[in-house]
Amino acid sequence: MGALGADDTFQDEGKWRELVRTNDAVLVSAVGALLDAACIPHVVLDQNMSVLEGSIGILPRRILVNECCVDDARELLEDAGLGHELRPDVR
């Protein structure tokens, strides 16, 4: 399924959980690529905040995954050596 595009809806916030929060653009890209390859539905929030911050990269981007796939996504990132980047799993 991949990341949500501009035309996709993001109305039901209860079905999405934060996986990673970072201001590292390379990490955001890498995590997105891993999730895309595994067909795990996800969305990256706050990408356009650079307009407000002046492109200096201090505001973190958040990667959210669909709640149905959060366990698979966490396992995928742990297997890729990115487990230390995961947000605490709060249910």
User: How do residues 34-84 score in pLDDT, each as one tens digit?
Assistant: 999 999 999 999 877 655 656 566 788 999 999 999 999 999 999 999 999
Name residue 46's amino acid: D
Residues 33, 82 contacting (CB under 8 angstroms)? no
Query: Are the beta carbons of 31 and 19 closer than 8 angstroms?
Result: yes
Residue 28 predicted with pLDDT over 90: yes
Q: How far apart are CA 29 and CA 44, in angstroms?
A: 10
Q: How far apart are CA 63 and CA 25, in angstroms?
A: 11
Delineate the domains of the chain, giving CATH numbers in brackets.
Answer: 16-85 (3.30.70.790)
Greater confidence, 30 or 11? 30
- Looking at residues 23-32, what average pLDDT do you find? 93
